[in-house]
Copies of this chain bind each other. A is one copy, B any other.
Amino acid sequence: MIAVFPDKLMTPKQIVMEKLEMKLNNLINRALIVGGTHGNEFTGVYLIKLFEQFPELIRRDKFETLTLLANPEAFAVGRRYIHKDLNRCFLRQNLEDTTLSTYEDLLAKKINDSYGQNGKKPVDFILDLHSTTSNMGVTILIDNEEPFHLQLAAYLRHVNPAIKVYSSGNSGRSQNALRSLGKFGIGIEVGCIPQGVLNADFFLKTQSIIYTILNYLELYNVNKLPEFPNTFILYKYIEKIDYPRNENGEITAMIHPQLQFKDYEALNPGDPMFLTLDGQTIPYEGNSITYPVFINEAAYYETGTAMCLTNQHQITV
């Protein structure tokens, strides 16, 4: 049999070789676990501290695991960042722009020099640990629908059906997030947790998922993944919704009490969305059902985001 590609003819041997090469290219030789990309999200920070004290917890036979406390200065002062959000600093052109020199711009370049694909220790997989003030439980963040990411997400949902999977691909995160440096990369987002607070329950849940992921990578590398269901629900970013504001840009309404804490639940046209400070309900005015996430995330007040709307998609991997 000769497989026909638009621009080439391949022999069976060439097909086998190409598949083998793809497989070898996609092996995970080095994984990086990152905490403190946002300095006031303590779950990741303290997990990194734990792993640095007890490296055997994340040591696996088939690949190397590194750790990174990404924004130590921001953590030291208990803030998300010093000058700008580190997790928006990894656009290719920004990393190459020598005129950018804020603390986080320089930090992004340093992290890229260490772990980026042309860096000293290029990593095949990045796991970036986050927390949110939204009630998103345990969410796996993917930035694109690469089969590797979808398969891993399906596996994690198989192990823990309470996990939600959110794709931020449409929001541009695949280009500018720290995890975009890896060949592959996902985030874990847990909440609700206030900024600057360590919550033991979510610390333990995140820790458990990390071990599940490391064990998955080990099995993946030796081609011994077990069978698991190949479908799951993916919540895909559509758009962000800002708070109602007055002519001075000041917020004039709050997340409606009926919507607060209802991340991933269906929001229908006409459902209460905001409550103005003086008590008027503002309904959701979209035309179709949506599933909001990042509802009332503290860090997003300054970015004009009261919530992100998503669509539900049934994914088969």
A interface residue numbers (CB < 8 A to B): 46, 49-50, 53-54, 78-79, 133, 192-201, 203-204, 250-251, 254-257, 260, 275, 277-278, 296, 298-299, 301-302
Contact = CB atoms under 8 A, between A and B. Distances in A.
A277 B194 contact: no
Contacts of A53: 277-278
A275 B200 contact: yes
B302 A198 contact: no
A301 to B, nearest CB: 6
Given A54-B278, A278-B54, A133 B46 contact: no
The prevalent SS among residues of A at the interface is loop
Given A198-B296, A201-B260, 5 more contacts: A53-B278, A198-B255, A199-B260, A200-B257, A204-B257
Contacts of A301: 78, 196-197
B278 A50 contact: yes
B194 A254 contact: no
Contact of A195 (B203, B277, B298): B298
